[in-house]
Amino acid sequence: MTQTIATILGVASGFILIGYPEAPAEMIATSLVVDASLAPLTAVIASRRGRSVSLWAVAGFIFGLWALAYVLLAGRRGVRPRDPQYPSASDAA
pLDDT (tens digit per residue) in 60-71 = 999 888 999 999
| Domain layout of the chain by residue ranges | 2-76
| 67 CB-contact burial (10 Å; exposed 0-12 / middle 13-18 / buried 19+) | buried
Four-residue CA torsion sign, 28, 30, 34, 37: positive
Query: Which residues make Cβ contacts (< 8 Å) with residue 46, sequence separation at least 6?
Result: 52, 53, 55, 56, 71
pLDDT (tens digit per residue) in 3-52 = 888 888 888 777 777 777 778 888 888 888 888 998 999 999 999 988 99
Residue 69 corresponds to which amino acid?
Answer: A
Residues, the chain, total?
93
pTM above 0.75? no
Average of pLDDT values for 73-91?
61
Q: Please tell me what DSSP assigns to residue 86.
A: S
